[in-house]
Structure formats: structure tokens, C-alpha cells
Structure 1
């Protein structure tokens, strides 16, 4: 029988429905086609219960999803919550569709994930790009400053929304309260991609979450720092500046009509766990992560991100000063069964969640120290990823460029042409080139730097980047 080891089902209606399906399996004449049999393709389909004619009836008469979303909205202090089984990618695109359309301008942080840019294509919006501050010591991004957004809104008074990502992929946080105040001065919503911050606001040593700081619409991933299935995410909104009907329509527009019940149930269970035991579990993880940071700070040349503007559960290490190649450290960790979120020549990022404690973090600290000691070399200058310094030049809207006739040209010949595709180092999936932007030598240099640092270049039609798609003349 399926287990509920922490007794969450009494406060998690979707989890309860999922467990009941497993405890009293039906003989379904509905999808999915495996019909709950694991003797056909194996345990890979075990627990795959649909929402329709599974967790609820086909007509959704029990309302378990609505109730679960209501409880999540209450926990985060939102007026509206919607669960997504398409991850923050689907949720970000829904957020963009919800705030504007028809060629409107929106102020957008350049550190946002490629899913937001695809959302701009879907909604037909034109970005007014703003860049984050970059820390001179590490070369990594901080937040976008309120003064930068204020200037952008003054220069583009018809902009309909402000979209930022906070925290950043490397765990740095910005002044979300200041950004909210600036957006509200212009009576536009602040939309925050907080994919990496589902735990924020639930322990006194963590930053407050974006809604607490005044944001209007927040996307967060239940699967990144909470114990939910992959692809689990939430859209949370206050409705003073966000139309709830339009938000619902936007969520439904890109959502599957066959949502995975296990993903939904795990989102509900993660919410219940966070509400009941989150502070205790997060406290253990924060304490254990702090001990690893202290150990690593003792290594000459290493820079370990820390302080009030850094997520206590994101372990980001800059290796340049110790002459260590992060790709070699990553290989060592994989060999020991401890893969990390991201590694390139200069920066290594390990994600910690409330599922971690000293039992997982102490071995990680031991392995990191040993690997750094093995691979130490001559110190290198800290440069940071060049993608955070590229100045995008918008020549046409992303949607117009996406659908325009295009041609593939040799990379060097693309300089000065209008890009027709999205190209981003992955992770983190932040575009260096986006549809509608002029291809510049700086953008090509940034991609080259990322590739030489060991980062995969993603989404380009030509993965080798020998050619690039540009708008036909």
C-alpha cells in the first residue's frame, strides 16, 4: 500500500485522493492506456493516476483540485493559486499571457528564463530589457535595481508590466519590495519568476517571498526546493492589478488537458509539509549548508556566495581564484553519486532543499574539499559569464522575428543581422540571443566564452553554432 509517512493526507485533498486510488484501484475504461498495469512496461508507470476520472470524476464533481489550490493561496497570502504540471515554463508563459498583449511593451529582466521570452512571442509583446547589477568580485548577477526599472518605465510610460527573476539562478536576491513600489508608482503589476524560491518566507533565516514583498504575480517551482514531482509548479497572484479571469484563461491556454495526478498530488503534499513542518526541516538544511560554506571559505582562493542577499540554501562557489576547473570537480562528484545543478570552468552551483540535512551535506563538503585540493592550479582572473554583460539591441518584436522568413548563415556573417531564434547557455537557460535582436559581436563572444567554459549551448537550430538563423532580407 502507498505510504503517507508524515500523515499529510488529512490536510492535502489531492494527496488523499491519490492515496485512495492506490488503496482501492479501479478497473478504468479511461486513459491512461496502461490501465494501472505494471506488468506491461514496468514500474515506470506506477502511481500514474490522472486528475480526470482519477483523483476526481471526469466532471470534476468533488473539487479536490480547487480546494488544494485554495489552501496553497491561503498559505502564500495570494488571492488566486493555480497548479501547473508543466513546470515554471508553462507557469511563466501563462503569467506573460495574463498581463498584456497586442504589441504592448513590458519591462523585462535580461536574467529571465527562456520560457518568459517564448511567452513574449506567444503574447506578441515587445520587451524593454533591463539588466541586473553584476558583482565585481564574482562576476555574477545581483538583482535588477529599482532605479533601473524606474528609468525604463519613465522612458516607456505605456509599458504594461515589470517582469523580473528573483532569486537568480546562482541564488542572489534583489530588492523585490523596491521593484514592487516602482511598478506600483506606474500602476503596473510586478511579475516575479521565483522558480528557485518556493521555500522563501517559511523560515526566519530565509528571505521573505515575493508576495510578502509586494509582488502581484509570482511563479514558483514546487519541484526545485520542495519535495514535489518534477514539473510541479504554482502560479500565485494578488488580483488588484492582475485580472483573475484572464490569468485562469492564460493558465488553461498552455496547460495539458490530461494533467498528471501524481504531480498535482505531490504539489499539494509539498504545500502541506511546508505549512506544518517546513520551518523545522528548513532549519536543519540551512544549518548544515552554513557549515559546508564555513569549511569551503577556509580554502584559499575559493569564493563562496553568502550574506543577506544570497539564498541560504543555494551553494554557489566561484573557483577561479583557486585555479580549479569546475568541470573536473563536477566529474568527481558524479563519480561519487553526487551530481550538482550546474558546473562550468569557473562556477559550481549545488541546490539544497528541505530534503537535505547534515547526512547529505557533510559528505558533499568532504567531496568538494578533496576535489578542489586535487585540481588546484594557478589562480585565474574572475570574469563571470559574459551573458550577463551583453547589451541586447531590439530591432523588431520577438513574435515578428519568430514568424518571419529566415535563413541560416555562417556565424560570422550573422553580425548585424536580426536573429530569428533563441540561443542560450544551459543551464541556466538565459538567452544571449533572442528573436528580434541584432546579432552583435559581443553576443557571439558571450556564447563562445560559455562554450569554452564547458557549458552546453541550447535551443539553436544548429547545435554546433556553425550557422545561425536570421531574418531574411
Structure 2
């Protein structure tokens, strides 16, 4: 059976190199240590080919990675592209290293993923936080308003960049074009974490992607909505306001020196597929998703979030059903979802979906909501979006400060020394350097009560919290 069923290798140099390695038996004297043998730990290592000594020589003589990245840059309309085998997390941190110097301020959306906050620590940047508008009907974020960013830049004229996440984790879409105008009015770059939007811009019924809307940098995950290996991501940039040498240095400083060739090859293959068949495949997936939405809209009390057509975020308070109970029914049917908590269930649709998969999902959700239906409850929403951060120290200073663990009740008024975020989506409620407030602790308690895992804290039970030692 061909490992290139859609005939992509002619337009995907990394995929072609991966296939050639698999087609030509070798006895490698390189890493990885399994040496392509499957009799040691089994097929779990099948397809694991390194970049160096696999897809290319250690000297990169064939240039297949640079060729693949150049093709991706052309497809997205960027000046430069770098592939990542460390996900959007690595890409976000590389960009943070590229846009400023330690002590520089940057305007940052509070809805950004924790990876960018750690990027601020690595780069020594100081965040000027801006918060999104919130939809009162769902309690979920709608995006940061351009006027909010413009006001933050006016109040902090030395800020070096603007960082936002768009679309949001729940699929809502903001005004990226307006944000680009606001940033460019101060001659600073707009960096968009579009990890969930690798498909944007490749069908007329989808939102345009961030670069098409004027952003300077787009970070996106090839593995979230495109058919690439986990951890596959891209950072794409226009270089008018971003130094490509600094960006390249940031990528190399934070990347592994043993990149997985299969991840890189799958990124290249997904790009080639998107370029050739993306509009057709995405159109079919969106049509199936529309039919699923139409059926779900008939479920009394159920609200579907508007935004990305390929994200089905179901808001449940009006049904009285518990999203965790709905998730259990979906798991029993072999239909795991991206996220579930008491008030919502999020399902990601990709170009791999069709009426069969979405019909099964819709059948189970419809029956499950009916089975678990109860008295409608008020929309509480994601409390994380309403917390007002109170900066005291720069994140880097707090991250490296002497710290101590104190009982949670004693932490109010102290300076937090760690990152604490409900996951998913991984958006911080408390970050290093911020005052621990009663509102922040209440938001964490509400998230935990809704069945959301509290992540990244040294004490995951939150009986104690790490604070800066006095």
C-alpha cells in the first residue's frame, strides 16, 4: 500500500524524503536508538525518522526543510516560515524572544495560552494586559477590541508589540484587521496566536487568516485542524516590523536539536494537501458541520457558539444538563471531545470529518442532553475571562524569586510565584508576579467546581499556592 495515497510527494519535499527513507532499507548509525527495528518496543516507533541522518544529512545538503518552509511561506503570503516540532508553544516562545529586549513592555491579551506567558519569562518582557469583550449570553470571550489595544498603546507608548490569540479556544473570532490597524498606528507588530486556525483563509466561507488581515506574525498548529502529527506547528512572519534574523535565532534557541522527521514531513504534507485540495475538503467538512449545527439547534435550551464553522462549542446551562455527564456518554460511544466541563462541551471538526462522524456525535449529544436534562441554570461562563490581573513584579523576576508554599487562604495579598490556569484552555488566572486576589481564587474554585482541571500549579489540589517569599 502506498504511503502517499493522495499523491502529494511531488509538492512536499519533506514528505518525499520521509518516503524515500522508508523505501530504501538502511542500517543507520544515527539516532534514534531503535535503529528502525520494531522488535524491541514494537510499532510504537514506526515512522520515526530523524531530520538529521534521515530526511537529510547532518549538513542539510539536500535542503528539503528550507524548501518546505519556503513553500509554506508562499502559501500563507509570508516572507518567512519556520516549522516547529514543539507545537505552537515553541513557536510562541520563539516570537517572544524576537520582538523585544528584557524590560520592554508588550501588550498582551489575557486570553493567550500559558505558552506565551512563559515566553515573556524567557524573554524578560513585561506584559500590559488587555482583556476581551465577553458575550453575556454565553459568558465566553469575543476577542479583544481594537479600541482596547489602541488605548493600551497610547498609555504605554514604549510597548514593542501586541500579542493576541484569535480565534479563541472556544471558536469565537475577533477583529484582527482592526487590531492590526491599532498596532501599526504605533508602528509595532501584531503577533497572532492562531493555533486553532490553520484552515482559515482557505475557503471563501471561512474567516481570512491573520496575515491576510494585516498581522505581522501568525503562529498556527498544523496538528489541530490539519492532518499533521501532534506537535506540528508553523510560525509565519512578514518582516517589515519583525527582524527575521532575531526570529530565526529565537526559533533555534528554543527548538530541539533532534527534530522528528515524521512531524516535519506531516507538516509539509498537510501544507501540500491544503494548497491543492483544501477548498474542496474544507467545504465538505463545513457542509457536514452545518447539518450537525442545524440538528443541534433543535435541542431546547442548547446554545451553539458562533465563530469558526468547524468548532462546535455547546453551551449547556439552558438545558440543565451537566457537560461532564454528556462527555461520559460520548466517551462510552467512542467519541472523545476536545473539552468538557459542567457548562460546555467543545468538539473540533476538521477536514477529516464527514456526515458519518458528525451524525454519530450529534445523535449521542441529542440523546444525552435529553437524558440528563434538568432545571435551567444561569450562565456563569468561564470565570477566567473576568479576572482583573494586578501586576506587582515582572513575570521573569517573580519566576526566579525565592518562593514558599502557603495555605490558599493565606495567599490573598501575596505575590504569586507560579502559573495557575484551568486546562483546557490553559489561560492563566494567576501568573508569576501578580497579586493573589480573592477574585482570582474564586475563579479557580468555580472552574474546579465545574469539573475543569487546574493545571501547572505545584500543588494541583490548590490546598497551597507558591508565592514570593517576603
TM-score interval, normalised by the smaller of the two chains? over 0.9
| Cα displacement string for residues 92-139 of structure 1 (whole angstroms, at most 9, x for unaligned residues) | 101111111211000000000000000000000110000000001110
Secondary structure of the equivalent of 1:209?
A: coil
Q: Which runs of 5+ in 1 are unaligned?
A: none
| Cα displacement string for residues 161-204 of structure 1 (whole angstroms, at most 9, x for unaligned residues) | 00000000000000000000000000000000000000000001
Q: Which residue number in structure 1 is paired with residue 220 of structure 2?
A: 220
Q: Which residue number in structure 2 is paired with residue 264 of structure 1?
A: 264
Q: d(CA) in 2 for partners of 1:358 and 1:292? A: 8
* TM-aligned CA deviation for residue 381 of structure 1: 0.4
* TM-aligned CA deviation for residue 416 of structure 1: 0.4
CA contact (8 A) 1:284 1:358 kept: no
Q: Which residue number in structure 2 is paired with residue 446 of structure 1?
A: 443
* TM-aligned CA deviation for residue 58 of structure 1: 1.2
CA contact (8 A) 1:2 1:19 kept: no
Q: d(CA) in 2 for partners of 1:439 and 1:25? A: 59
Q: d(CA) in 2 for partners of 1:319 and 1:94? A: 38
| Cα displacement string for residues 133-156 of structure 1 (whole angstroms, at most 9, x for unaligned residues) | 000111000010000000000000
CA contact (8 A) 1:2 1:22 kept: no
| Cα displacement string for residues 407-456 of structure 1 (whole angstroms, at most 9, x for unaligned residues) | 10000100000000000000000000000000000000000000000000
Q: Which runs of 5+ in 2 are unaligned?
A: none
Of residues 351-360 and 4-13 in structure 1, the stretch that sits farther from structure 2 once superposed is 351-360
Q: 1:435 aligns with which of 396, 416, 432?
A: 432
Q: d(CA) in 2 for partners of 1:101 and 1:363? A: 51
Secondary structure of the equivalent of 1:164?
A: strand
* TM-aligned CA deviation for residue 299 of structure 1: 1.2
Q: 2:410 aligns with which of 397, 401, 413?
A: 413
Secondary structure of the equivalent of 1:370?
A: helix
Q: d(CA) in 2 for partners of 1:217 and 1:159? A: 17
Q: d(CA) in 2 for partners of 1:20 and 1:359? A: 35
Q: d(CA) in 1 for partners of 2:64 and 2:2? A: 19
Secondary structure of the equivalent of 1:219?
A: strand
Q: Which residue number in structure 2 is paired with residue 388 of structure 1?
A: 385
| Cα displacement string for residues 454-473 of structure 1 (whole angstroms, at most 9, x for unaligned residues) | 00000000111000000011
Q: d(CA) in 1 for partners of 2:249 and 2:404? A: 35
| Cα displacement string for residues 48-88 of structure 1 (whole angstroms, at most 9, x for unaligned residues) | 00000100011100000000000000000000000000000
Q: d(CA) in 1 for partners of 2:415 and 2:156? A: 23
Number of corresponding residues? 470
* TM-aligned CA deviation for residue 2 of structure 1: 5.0
* TM-aligned CA deviation for residue 370 of structure 1: 0.8
Q: 2:458 aligns with which of 453, 457, 461?
A: 461
RMSD of aligned Cα (Å): 0.6
Q: d(CA) in 1 for partners of 2:26 and 2:144? A: 52
CA contact (8 A) 1:197 1:209 kept: yes
Q: d(CA) in 1 for partners of 2:371 and 2:289? A: 23
Q: Which residue number in structure 2 is paired with residue 325 of structure 1?
A: 322
Q: Which residue number in structure 2 is paired with residue 354 of structure 1?
A: 351
- Indicate whether 1:58 and 2:55 are aligned: no
CA contact (8 A) 1:51 1:260 kept: yes
Q: d(CA) in 2 for partners of 1:73 and 1:67? A: 10
- Indicate whether 1:334 and 2:326 are aligned: no
- Indicate whether 1:367 and 2:330 are aligned: no
Q: 2:397 aligns with which of 397, 400, 409?
A: 400
Q: d(CA) in 2 for partners of 1:118 and 1:230? A: 21
CA contact (8 A) 1:220 1:235 kept: yes
Secondary structure of the equivalent of 2:53?
A: helix
Normalised to the residue count of structure 1, the TM-score between the two structures is 0.99
Q: Which residue number in structure 2 is paired with residue 278 of structure 1?
A: 278
Normalised to the residue count of structure 2, the TM-score between the two structures is 0.99
| Cα displacement string for residues 278-322 of structure 1 (whole angstroms, at most 9, x for unaligned residues) | 00100111011111111111111110112xxx0000000100000
Secondary structure of the equivalent of 2:54?
A: helix
Q: Which residue number in structure 2 is paired with residue 240 of structure 1?
A: 240
Of residues 96-105 and 431-440 in structure 1, the stretch that sits farther from structure 2 once superposed is 96-105
Q: Which residue number in structure 1 is paired with residue 116 of structure 2?
A: 116
CA contact (8 A) 1:107 1:163 kept: yes
Q: d(CA) in 2 for partners of 1:413 and 1:297? A: 46
| Cα displacement string for residues 317-365 of structure 1 (whole angstroms, at most 9, x for unaligned residues) | 1000000100000000011100000000001100011111112111111
